[in-house]
Amino acid sequence: MKKLSAFAAILCGISFSACSADKPPAAKAPEVVTDEQKTFYSLGVILSKQIDTFSLTPAELQLVQKGFADGVTHAKPVVDPDSYTAKLQAIAQQRFAAASEKAAKDGAAYLENASKEAGASKTASGMVIKHTKEGTGAQPAATDQVKVNYEGRFIDGTVFDSSSKHGGEPATFPLNRVIPCWTEGVQTMKVGGKAQLVCPSDLAYGPNAQPPNIPPKSTLVFDVELLDVMKAPPPPAAPTPPPPPVKKK
What is the band of 211 on the pLDDT scale with cuts at 50, 70, 90?
A: low
Is residue 113 within 8 Å of residue 107, measured between CB atoms?
Answer: no
Host domain of residue 220: 118-231
Active site residue 160: yes
pLDDT tens readout for residues 39-83:
988 988 887 877 877 888 899 989 998 998 898 899 999 999 899
Active site residue 16: no
19-28, 167-176, 211-220, 238-247: the lowest-pLDDT one: 19-28
Counted domains in the chain: 1
Active site residue 40: no
Active site residue 110: no
pTM of this prediction?
0.72
Active site residue 150: yes
- Picking from 121, 133, 119, the residue whose alpha carbon sits closest to that of residue 195 is 133
Is residue 107 within 8 Å of residue 200, measured between CB atoms?
Answer: yes
Using CA atoms, how far apart are residues 182 and 89, in angstroms rounded to an integer?
35
Which of 54, 150, 154, 214 is an active site residue?
150
**CATH number of the domain that residue 186 is part of:** 3.10.50.40
Residue 166: the pLDDT is 83
Which of 52, 70, 106, 161 is an active site residue?
161
105 belongs to a structural domain: no
Active site residue 179: yes
Residue 80: the pLDDT is 92
**Winning range, highest mean pLDDT, from 10-24, 108-122, 164-178, 231-245:** 108-122
Using CA atoms, how far apart are residues 118 and 98, in angstroms rounded to an integer?
33
Which of 41, 52, 91, 160 is an active site residue?
160
Which of 179, 202, 223, 228 is an active site residue?
179
74 belongs to a structural domain: no
